[in-house]
C-alpha cells in the first residue's frame, strides 16, 4: 500500500470517513473489504457515501450504491445504480475522469480531491471534496471503492472546517 496523507484542512466528515476506513483494516498490509464496513457505525456519513464495484479485466467501474446527498446531485440519481460508469458518462474514459478511479485501485491507497466537479453536474457554484478508499474482500485485490463526496458551495469550501 502506498503512502497517503489526508490534508490537514480536509472537511471533518471526510476525516471521519478516512479514520473509519483505517480503523476497520483487518491487519497491516491488508485492505478492508466491504464485509468490514458497518453502516451503523458511520451514520453521519451515510448520505455522502457511494460505492463502486471494480471489475479487473477489463478495468471497469459500476455504481453499486449512492447515498441520498450524492443521489440528489447526480444526474439520473438512483437510475445509475447497477450501471457501468462509462455507459452513464460516455466521456468517462476520454475525459480523463476514469483516472481518479484507477489511482486507488492501482496504488491500493485512498485518493483525495477538492475542486470543481469532474462530472458534468451543471452546478458551477459547487466545490466537491471527495475521498475514494479501496476495499478488497480478500485484503489484497481491490474489488470496490468506498467513496465519500461532499458538495459544498464555494462559500462553504472557503470556510475553516473546524468552525
Q: Specify whether the CB–CB gap between 87 and 114 falls below 8 A.
A: no
Dump pLDDT digits (tens) for 31-81.
999 999 998 999 999 999 999 999 999 999 999 999 998 888 766 656 789
DSSP 28-93: TT----GGG--GGG-TTTGGGEEEEEEETTTTEEEEEEE-HHHHHHSTTGGGGTTSBHHHHSTTTT
Question: Cα(1)–Cα(95) distance, rounded to whole angstroms?
Answer: 27
- Quote the mean pLDDT of the chain: 86
Q: What is the rounded CA–CA span in Å between residue 52 and residue 105? A: 11
pLDDT band at 120 (very low <50, low <70, confident <90, very high): low
State pTM to two decimals.
Answer: 0.87
Is it true that the peptide bond before 58 is cis, omega within 30 degrees of 0? yes
Amino acid at each position: 500500500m502506498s503512502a497517503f496523507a489526508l490534508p490537514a484542512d480536509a472537511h471533518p466528515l471526510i476525516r471521519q470517513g478516512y479514520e473509519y476506513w483505517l480503523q476497520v483494516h483487518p491487519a497491516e498490509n491488508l485492505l478492508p473489504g466491504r464485509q468490514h464496513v458497518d453502516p451503523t457505525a458511520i451514520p453521519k456519513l451515510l448520505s455522502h457515501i457511494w460505492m463502486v464495484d471494480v471489475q479487473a479485466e477489463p478495468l471497469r467501474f459500476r455504481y453499486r450504491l449512492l447515498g441520498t446527498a450524492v443521489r440528489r446531485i447526480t444526474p439520473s440519481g438512483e437510475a445509475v445504480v447497477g450501471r457501468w460508469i462509462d455507459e452513464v458518462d460516455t466521456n468517462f474514459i476520454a475525459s480523463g475522469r476514469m483516472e481518479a478511479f484507477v489511482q486507488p485501485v492501482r496504488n491500493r491507497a485512498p485518493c483525495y480531491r477538492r475542486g470543481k466537479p469532474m462530472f458534468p453536474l451543471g452546478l458551477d457554484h459547487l466545490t466537491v471534496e471527495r475521498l475514494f478508499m479501496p476495499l478488497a474482500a480478500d485484503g489484497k485485490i481491490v474489488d470496490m471503492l468506498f467513496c465519500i463526496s461532499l458538495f459544498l458551495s464555494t462559500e462553504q469550501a472557503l470556510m475553516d472546517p473546524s468552525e
